[in-house]
Amino acid sequence: MFPPIMVYTWSFTAATPSFRCRTPMDDISEVSITDKILQNYKPSESQCDQYQKQISLSECQRCFQLTNETYYNDTHMKPCTNFIFDRTYYQSTLVEEWYMVCNRISLKSFVQIVFFFGYMVGSLVFGILSDKFGRRPIMGVSFVLITIASFMCAFAPHPKLGFEISYAFFVLGRFLLACATRGVALTGFVIGSEIVGPKQRLFTGIVIEYFFAGGELILLGFAYFIRTWRLLNTALAILSIPFLFFYFILPESPRWLISKGHYNHAERVLRRIAKTNGSFFDSIAYDDLINEEKKREALYPKKSHGLRSLFQSKIMIIIAINMSFQWFVQNLVFYGVSQNTGAWLTDPYIAFLAGALVEIVAYFVVHLVLNRWGRKLVYCIFVLLFGLFSFFVVPIQMFMLKNSQEQYILMFIINVVLKFLASGSYAIIYIYANELFPTQGRNTGIGLCSMVARFGAIIGTLSNDLLARVWIHFPIVVFGTTSLIAVVFATICPETMNKPLPETIHDVDRMGLTWPCWKPKTLICEDMNGMADSDEHVSLKNQLKENDSF
């Protein structure tokens, strides 16, 4: 719930209100500024021609003004240095305080680039550390970093520090916030799936998505009532403090403990879970499970951890690359389409609410069908439909009367459908990838996927501005094409519904690869050392599946 609050805070604290150049007439208190007066300072279209390749006409007229040195005769343009911002929706934003508009807009873009870079670093680093030192301590460290970084972002921008120092501290705070946010989000998702059995994994995964959308709604409530950026950041920083105590409540993942040989600690955790649930803890079954685990460790000792563990077999390499590509595509389309979900609404708060509600509906539908039809088939359907609906946008925009009511209604429907499909597939890929990576490298694998996904998020965020300059329909065509390609690659991954989580690379090898997504044909390969699964290992695996009680 907390990561989306930290991520989407930027949408409100650094929102860009409507603005215009500050004119000399604004300094005269007796004069009421009218559109007619402002028109005298606004450059004409012909005067903005020299800037048309860099900025639009509207941007030119907002960032440049005519000088009145000769009372509007023989006037010339000059860049604006002071601005008047609209107060309809925001009392103050960071953009207003630092004038991050026009020729200073790169300051805002740089903060977001650093934030996404922090996402990439945090995804990989915290993923590797979580597989090495445990899920619980890494989540605890991440919450501490979130609290520190939140207060940095709230108080670092200060006039007494000067702009350069304030900006540097703020950027550092955003970087740390991004790193720590991924540490909480990925580790929390993994430990949630590892602490339950196969039938409850879907519920756990979807509930996390529900809380993600719930976090967006909580942020919306704070942002609606606190419209000053510094107060909003401070309030959210204070909100992070109670989460520091989460470390003392959260148990370590029993799967991770067993995979590391901490059998006594794992038993204590499982006994605590059984007591909380009012269930009987079967010590004999647990001892049998541990004995089988030790036999498996003797048969196939773990060679390495971290990233190297994902490159020990051909099947694991294929799955890791495939899942990374799937995450890239889902982040590309999710962030690209999300910008258009509330585009028909002028109120930013209503637009944000509309996007969150569409996400909740998508998660609910996924929750209903994922355990009936399987992970892969449902994912393929969502992504395929997204690709097909994407191409409906081009003829609607090209051949229908521009700005007509019919076009408006159709684009409204298409945007909502695309947001629904993108949100659904985004939720599924989290659950699906989590069930494909083995325990010994699960957090590392998810971290790798998340790191690659950041490139998709960056491209998706910037595509509507940059790619649209090449061709207005370029972004949606890219979204649709990459989605169709993703469906093809997704067909080779195995189904994971109601199956135990893989513990080792050899478990993943036995899952094999399938083709296509609606046929249960399985391709099982030998690992890279040429070692096939023996009858003894098959028997051992069957016993472990029967004993799977997490």
Percentage of the chain surpassing pLDDT 90?
Answer: 24
180 in a domain, yes or no?
A: no
The amino acid sitting at 202 is L
Determine the Cα–Cα distance for residues 248 and 257; give it in Å rounded to an integer. 17
The pLDDT of residue 226 is above 90: yes
Q: What is the pLDDT of residue 409?
A: 82
Average pLDDT over residues 123-139: 88
120 in a domain, yes or no?
A: no
Determine the Cα–Cα distance for residues 387 and 379; give it in Å rounded to an integer. 12
What DSSP assignment string belongs to 523-539? Answer: E----TT--PPPHHHHH
Residues 361-407 pLDDT 10s? 999 999 999 888 989 999 999 999 999 999 988 888 788 777 777 87
Name the nearest CA neighbour of 428 among 385, 389, 479, 377.
Answer: 377
487 in a domain, yes or no?
A: yes
- Greater confidence (516 vs 457) lies with 457
In terms of average pLDDT, the best of 60-74, 483-497, 511-525 is 483-497
Query: Is the torsion defined by CA of 156, 160, 166, 169 positive or negative?
Result: negative
Average pLDDT over residues 426-435: 90
Determine the Cα–Cα distance for residues 194 and 134; give it in Å rounded to an integer. 12
The pLDDT of residue 59 is above 60: yes
291 in a domain, yes or no?
A: no
Determine the Cα–Cα distance for residues 455 and 323; give it in Å rounded to an integer. 14
| Residue ranges making up the domain that contains 70 | 19-85
CB 547 within 8 A of CB 285: yes
Residues 412-425 pLDDT 10s? 888 889 999 999 99
Across 175-184, 307-316, 341-350, 356-365, least confident range: 341-350
Across 37-41, 61-65, 449-453, 475-479, least confident range: 37-41
Q: What is the pLDDT of residue 472?
A: 72
The amino acid sitting at 382 is F
Q: What is the pLDDT of residue 535?
A: 40
Residue where one domain finishes, among candidates 27, 60, 85: 85
Cis status, amide bond into 516, omega within 30 of 0? yes
The pLDDT of residue 522 is above 70: no
The pLDDT of residue 182 is above 90: no
The pLDDT of residue 304 is above 60: no
The pLDDT of residue 465 is above 70: no
**SS3 assignment, position 226:** coil
Spacing of C-alpha 515 from chain mean position = 29
460 in a domain, yes or no?
A: yes
438 in a domain, yes or no?
A: yes
In terms of average pLDDT, the best of 47-56, 171-180, 467-476 is 171-180
Q: What is the pLDDT of residue 49?
A: 66
Six token digits for residue 14: 């650094």
Six token digits for residue 94: 């960071």
Residues 241-268 pLDDT 10s? 998 988 888 888 888 888 888 888 988 9
Residue where one domain finishes, among candidates 57, 85, 113: 85
Residues 83-105 pLDDT 10s? 888 888 999 899 888 888 887 88
Backbone angles phi, psi at 64, to 5 degrees: -125, 150
The pLDDT of residue 534 is above 50: no
249 in a domain, yes or no?
A: no
The pLDDT of residue 48 is above 80: no
- Greater confidence (49 vs 415) lies with 415
What dihedral angle (degrees, nearest 10) is formed by the CA atoms of 496, 435, 451, 216?
Answer: 100
CB 446 within 8 A of CB 433: yes
Burial 378-414 (b: 16+ CB within 10 A, else e): bbbbbbbbbbebbebbeeebeeeeeeeeeeeebbeeb
**H or E stretch covering 368:** helix 348-373
E-strand spans in 396-527? 513-514, 522-523
The amino acid sitting at 473 is H
Residues 306-328 pLDDT 10s? 677 778 888 999 999 999 999 99
Number of domains composing the chain: 2
CATH number at residue 537: 1.20.1250.20
268 in a domain, yes or no?
A: no
Backbone angles phi, psi at 472, to 5 degrees: -60, -30
Q: What is the pLDDT of residue 294?
A: 80
The pLDDT of residue 115 is above 80: yes
Determine the Cα–Cα distance for residues 88 and 70; give it in Å rounded to an integer. 35
Average pLDDT over residues 293-305: 67
Query: Which residues lie closer than 8 Å to 218 by C-beta, 6 or more apart?
Result: 1, 5
Q: What is the pLDDT of residue 364?
A: 93
Average pLDDT over residues 103-115: 85
* Average model confidence (pLDDT) across the chain: 81
DSSP 69: T
Percentage of the chain surpassing pLDDT 70?
Answer: 82
The pLDDT of residue 541 is above 70: no
Residue where one domain finishes, among candidates 68, 85, 102: 85
Determine the Cα–Cα distance for residues 270 and 164; give it in Å rounded to an integer. 52
The pLDDT of residue 50 is above 70: no
Q: What is the pLDDT of residue 74?
A: 45
Average pLDDT over residues 272-277: 85
Give the pLDDT band (50/70/90) at residue 177. very high
The amino acid sitting at 182 is R
Distances (CA, A) of 178 to 89, 172, 219, 454, 475: 27, 10, 17, 11, 26
In terms of average pLDDT, the best of 170-179, 189-198, 291-300, 329-338 is 170-179
Q: What is the pLDDT of residue 520?
A: 45
Query: Is the torsion defined by CA of 470, 475, 478, 480 positive or negative?
Result: negative
